[in-house]
């Protein structure tokens, strides 16, 4: 992942040094358990932890140099550790296979990445709730197909986003639990050369649960679900980002990304204030979703394992989590500082001469004894006159001048159907459902 879209805490989780430190902990905890079972001498485990207590730097370059010869990363690491620890290191990795280390490490990394992402979501939820309550009764126009439909409030738009991201948090908590498993089961997963109690010990020490049945690897359906969950969260990010981008269009301008002092929108046009952050979020969301398909394709491996999944996960593990971490933080900033223009919202709401109240008139006519077909015809023929005048004519005036309409409804009854507040009578109910 490129530094431009990385945040330090998440990026640090995926460095080679961080990976090797997790490898060592797994190996040392396994050696502890083996010593307790009498398979290896206790002095071996003690030697490992004694060296570790010196807080040694991990010489990534040295390990890479060994791997250049061995063509095997785990062997290169074990060789380097043995050079540091001495003869007792020969008892490391007893009965284990490389995937025991690699898969358990990936589980640790993805679980820790989940914790960061869950914290990101918590921060976003706080901001969404605050802005939703701020604009709980700020009227704006709801649109379907991009066309004016009926009034809503801007707070409801934000409450909807809150509810969606709360669901995403629940999904991620479940995905974290599903991915946080440990496999120390040896070649082809039969425990032939290592006791299952070693796996249980390592799982406890690393904050994982045991994998009920592994082959030589942890089943990749777990990983597929994890990355699919990240993809869904990315989709939610883009949904909010696209909404802001549309609302910031010059013709709409109901909301706008914060434009900081000294910020420039265009190298050619000094007047520009572009929705660059939400456009960026749209692109980042595409990238995170793009990692879902490779994760799904990793599920079907040959027999007990092959390594076709390995190269994929070396990409998507860091890239998907780092990108999503950055995107969630950026979205939080966008919502937190979003400029909202209630006056423009009201102006746009009023722009089409009251067309947004057409359904209420339709329903009133049916309740007054007019057939639904005739009611629709009467309201639509007047609405089309407003539409063709680009909102210059008033639907209310046209309806009150239509003898077929006034034969069923009095002018006062018609006017009553143009009450904006009517549309918001259940906002409290919705907010109670979302935030209660």
Spacing of C-alpha 207 from chain mean position: 23
Looking at 99, 135, 260, 266, which residue is catalytic? 266
Other beta carbons less than 10 A from residue 141's beta carbon = 20
Q: Is-contact 172 158, C-beta < 8 A?
A: no
Cα-Cα end-to-end distance for the chain: 39
108/186 Cα distance (integer angstroms): 19
Which is the catalytic residue, given 98, 114, 144, 145? Answer: 145
* Residue 138: half-sphere exposure toward Cβ, Cα within 13 Å: 22
User: In Å, what is the CA distance from 269 to each residue of 167, 258, 272, 379?
Assistant: 41, 18, 6, 45
- Residue 172: count other Cβ atoms within 10 Å of its Cβ: 22
Quote the tokens at residue 200.
Answer: 């249980």
Exposure letters 396-411 (e unless 16+ CB within 10 A, then b): bebbbebeebeebbee
> Is 236 annotated in the active site?
no
266 is catalytic: yes
Closest C-alpha to 176, from 224, 113, 100, 104: 113
Indicate left, alpha or beta for 147 from its phi (over 0: left) and psi (-120 to 50: alpha).
beta
Residue-wise DSSP of 207-267: T-EE-SS-SSS--THHHHHHHHHHHHHHHHHHHHHHHHHHHHSTTT-SEE----TT--S-S
Rounded distance between C-alpha atoms, residue 354 and residue 375, angstroms: 17
CA–CA gap between residue 378 and residue 399 (Å, rounded): 8
Phi, psi of 274 (to 5 degrees): -95, 150
Q: Which residues are catalytic?
A: 145, 266
């Amino acid at each position: 992942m490129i530094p431009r879209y990385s945040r330090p805490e998440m990026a640090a989780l995926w460095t080679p040094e961080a990976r090797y430190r997790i490898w060592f902990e797994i190996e040392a905890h396994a050696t502890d358990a083996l010593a307790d079972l009498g398979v290896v001498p206790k002095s071996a485990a003690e030697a490992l932890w004694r060296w570790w207590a010196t807080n040694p730097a991990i010489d990534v370059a040295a390990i890479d140099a060994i791997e250049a010869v061995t063509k095997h990363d785990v062997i290169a690491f074990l060789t380097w550790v043995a050079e540091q620890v001495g003869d007792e290191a020969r008892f490391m990795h007893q009965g284990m296979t490389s995937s025991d280390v690699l898969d358990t490490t990936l589980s640790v990394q993805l679980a820790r990445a989940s914790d960061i992402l869950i914290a990101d979501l918590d921060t976003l939820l706080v901001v969404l709730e605050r802005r939703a309550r701020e604009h709980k009764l700020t009227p704006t126009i709801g649109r379907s197909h991009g066309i004016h439909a009926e009034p809503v409030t801007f707070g409801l738009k934000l409450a909807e986003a809150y509810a969606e991201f709360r669901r995403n948090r629940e999904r991620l908590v479940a995905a974290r639990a599903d991915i946080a498993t440990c496999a120390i089961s040896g070649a082809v997963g039969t425990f032939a050369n290592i006791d299952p109690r070693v796996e249980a010990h390592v799982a406890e020490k690393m904050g994982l649960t045991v994998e009920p049945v592994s082959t030589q690897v942890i089943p990749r359906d777990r990983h597929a679900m994890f990355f699919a969950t990240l993809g869904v969260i990315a989709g939610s990010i883009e949904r909010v980002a696209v909404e802001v981008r549309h609302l910031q269009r010059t013709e709409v301008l109901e909301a706008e990304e914060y434009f900081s002092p000294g910020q420039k929108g265009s190298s050619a046009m000094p007047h520009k204030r572009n929705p660059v952050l939400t456009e960026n979020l749209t692109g980042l969301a595409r990238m995170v979703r793009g990692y879902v398909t490779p994760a799904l394709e990793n599920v079907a491996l040959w027999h007990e394992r092959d390594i076709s999944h390995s190269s994929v996960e070396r990409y998507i593990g860091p890239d998907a989590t780092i990108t999503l971490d950055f995107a969630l933080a950026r979205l939080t900033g966008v919502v937190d500082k979003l400029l909202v223009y209630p006056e423009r919202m009201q102006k746009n709401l009023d722009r089409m001469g009251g067309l947004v109240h057409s359904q209420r008139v339709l329903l009133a006519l049916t309740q007054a004894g007019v057939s639904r077909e005739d009611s629709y015809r009467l309201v639509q023929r007047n609405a089309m006159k407003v539409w063709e005048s680009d909102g210059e004519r008033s639907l209310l005036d046209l309806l009150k001048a239509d003898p077929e309409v006034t034969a069923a409804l009095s002018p006062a009854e018609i006017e009553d159907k143009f009450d904006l507040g009517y549309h918001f009578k259940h906002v409290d109910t919705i907010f109670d459902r979302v935030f209660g």
